[in-house]
Amino acid sequence: MNETYENILAATARLGLTPRTGKEAYRTLAVIQGDGIESAQKDVSKSTWVRHMKVLREAGVTDQQLQKSNVEALPLRPITLRGPMTSWDDLSEHQK
């Protein structure tokens, strides 16, 4: 298990809630990070949302962790390579 998950389960116990609530709060965190906070909030009732946020805050989840991941693939760019260099003279030609 990862540290965040363990912290959420510990926070759930401190708040007197069931481990299932901790698992659900962790799932909510995963949805927030994957799809965004608005999407995650639409998936649950208001009371569940408030309970999950209380658990996440008790577990030490930061505002930064409550953001959608912004990792995007970079576009591929072709690289044109010249032939191999066989002498020092080739190096000077490539610098021109």
Q: H or E segment at 31? A: helix 19-35
User: pLDDT value at position 70?
Assistant: 67
- Residue 76's pLDDT band (boundaries 50, 70, 90)? confident
Summarize the confidence of residues 48-76 as an average pLDDT.
87
- Judged against a pLDDT cut of 70, whether residue 96 lies above it is answered with no
Could you state, in order of their start, the residue ranges of all structural domains in the chain? 3-62
Summarize the confidence of residues 55-64 as an average pLDDT.
93
- Judged against a pLDDT cut of 80, whether residue 81 lies above it is answered with no
Q: Give the pTM.
A: 0.69
- Residue 72's pLDDT band (boundaries 50, 70, 90)? low
